[in-house]
Structure 1
Amino acid sequence: MNESGHADLRHALPQARRYARALTGAQDSGDALVAKVLRGAIPDMPPRLALYAAISQAAPAPSEGGLMSARQRQLLLLTALEDLRLPDAAMVVGITAEDAGAEIEAARAALHAATVTDVIIIEDEPVIAMDIRRLVEACGHRVVAVTANEADAVALAARHRPGLILADINLGRGGDGIAAVARIQQAVAVPVIFVTAYPERLLTAERIEPAFLVTKPFQPLALAVATYQAITAGRPPIG
């Protein structure tokens, strides 16, 4: 591969890390998967798609008994979180666009039968907090608390022991969302989805980072997919 090709791969690494982390459920396993595929042969397709394809091929199979197949999970993550067009996502997983469309429809149906859990939302913008609550409840989950304050978030998590936390990074005067999650993780092992306008701040692989990121402004399906993956395949992203 020429220098231009290597530069394009480096440029695509943040997206590749986000996909791998969401697919495996944790930063360490996702970043290890990216490192593994970079040491091997990269498929002959545009760099970003090539990394997605290599990661999809090398990813460990999810545990049996889930509502979705590995391919369905991959297609949902690629189209909803990574915002790929259907033909590109189909190319990544190696099937036709028609077959990919059918797989995605089946996967979306499975979302409605996903595991129900208690959720805490940590968000300082009231309108966004309201939108997140509405979408989370539409997925069938129970929102047990909403807060914009770091200290309150820690106390609420200890009280409610939620099955999922959705958090903003910057809480303004309320503190820091990453710090709140780190404190919560000391006492409660819980998957976390960060909803942020600045995902690049958490995709450097230079420190402990979350497995699940949804970028503001977000689409309802993206949040639903991240929630499903966090609950069914995720491990706590910050410890």
Structure 2
Amino acid sequence: MTDPSQPTKMSDLVAPELPFLRRHARALTGRQDSGDRQAAATLEAILADPSCFDASRGGKAGLFRVFHSIWTSIDAPDAVSGDPLRAQATQHLATLTPNSREALLLHTVEGFSIDDLAFVMGIDAAEADALVETARAEMQKSVSGRVLIIEDEAIIAMDLEGILSMMGHEVTGVARTRDAAVEMGRKQQPDLILADIQLADNSSGIDAVKTLLPELDVPVIFITAFPERLLTGDRPEPTFLIAKPYEPDQVVGAVSQAMFFASTATLGA
């Protein structure tokens, strides 16, 4: 049993949050490999200088604060533009207000309050709130496309379709099984796939995506009740991931990010 009188070890604060740091870094870079490298660099920085880890607002905020300091010390658009296929993403990124995309991810996908977001980014709460609102406007204006939904629960599928339509995207179809998803994806090529993991006939959204990606080469957002199981750092793993139950803002944030990387495969990149 843990002794409450003993100070919490840094490793105990950091370890449970690593899957979510990987999710954040992958969403920012658009790739599993480069995102995981950024997450590893964060851990290396903490090991080299433990004083940089400020746990006053909890382990997750402290960990993400170190990540943010590293991320903003590099030219973030260049960090995702080494591949010629990523020129479109880089061009989009160059039009955005600095740090707005990260603020949107931190707030909507990672669930940081505006106050904690301000702590992570080292800014005041008013500026943090303004960055989130700016990101919403900029990203929804600049990127729209066709989305295939792979989801067996009718209510969730309808909810996702409504969110996507509100964002200005066209839903090409809603598939409840792997075979239906493959058929729909081949019939009308989407720009993005939004997929549940477990489907109605016990088939897998992951299997459907693995079948389609060699033919379509589009970004994929997976939805699962257990995101940490798909964020271990092993390969192949998803780049974009939403946890069930989700909030509409999480879908908006993840879809907006993924659309920037429509020229790259995202499973096992």
What TM-score, normalized to structure 2?
Answer: 0.83
Q: Aligned to 2:28, what secondary structure does the other structure show?
A: helix
Q: Which amino acid aligns with 2:102?
A: Q
Query: Relative to structure 2, which stretch is displaced further, 187-196 or 106-115?
Result: 106-115
How far has the Cα of 1:163 moved from its partner?
A: 0.3
2:187 pairs, out of 159, 166, 170, with: 159
Partners of 2:219 and 2:261 within 8 A in 1 = no
Q: Aligned to 2:190, what secondary structure does the other structure show?
A: coil
Distance in 2, matches of 1:231 and 1:134, equals 17
Alignment partner, residue 4 of structure 1? 9
Within a 5 Å distance, the mapping from 1:212-231 to structure 2 comes to 212-231=240-259
Alignment partner, residue 21 of structure 1? 26
Distance in 2, matches of 1:32 and 1:86, equals 27
1:48 pairs, out of 18, 36, 60, with: 60
Runs of 4+ in 1 over 4 A off after TM superposition: none
Q: Does 1:189 align with 2:217?
A: yes
Q: Which amino acid aligns with 1:117?
A: G
Q: Does 1:61 align with 2:83?
A: no
How far has the Cα of 1:65 moved from its partner?
A: 4.4
Q: Which amino acid aligns with 1:35?
A: A
What TM-score, normalized to structure 1?
Answer: 0.92
Alignment partner, residue 108 of structure 1? 136
How far has the Cα of 1:68 moved from its partner?
A: 2.6
How far has the Cα of 1:64 moved from its partner?
A: 4.6
Alignment partner, residue 37 of structure 2? 32
2:200 pairs, out of 172, 176, 184, with: 172
Cα RMSD (Å): 1.8
Distance in 2, matches of 1:206 and 1:44, equals 26
Distance in 2, matches of 1:162 and 1:193, equals 13
Distance in 2, matches of 1:106 and 1:179, equals 37
How far has the Cα of 1:238 moved from its partner?
A: 1.1
Count of aligned pairs between the two proteins = 238
CA deviation map 1:109-168 (0-9, x unaligned) = 223313111110000101100100111111000001110110121122122121000000
Q: Aligned to 2:222, what secondary structure does the other structure show?
A: strand
Distance 1:220 1:111, change over 3 A: farther
How far has the Cα of 1:3 moved from its partner?
A: 7.6
Alignment partner, residue 237 of structure 2? 209
Q: Which has the greater radius of gyration?
A: 2
Q: Aligned to 1:167, what secondary structure does the other structure show?
A: strand
How far has the Cα of 1:226 moved from its partner?
A: 0.6
Partners of 1:193 and 1:227 within 8 A in 2 = yes
How far has the Cα of 1:55 moved from its partner?
A: 2.1
Unaligned runs of 5+ in 2: 1-6, 78-89
Distance in 2, matches of 1:30 and 1:213, equals 13
Partners of 1:148 and 1:174 within 8 A in 2 = no
Partners of 1:122 and 1:167 within 8 A in 2 = yes
How far has the Cα of 1:230 moved from its partner?
A: 0.2
Q: Does 1:238 align with 2:267?
A: yes
Q: Percent identity?
A: 38
How far has the Cα of 1:14 moved from its partner?
A: 1.1
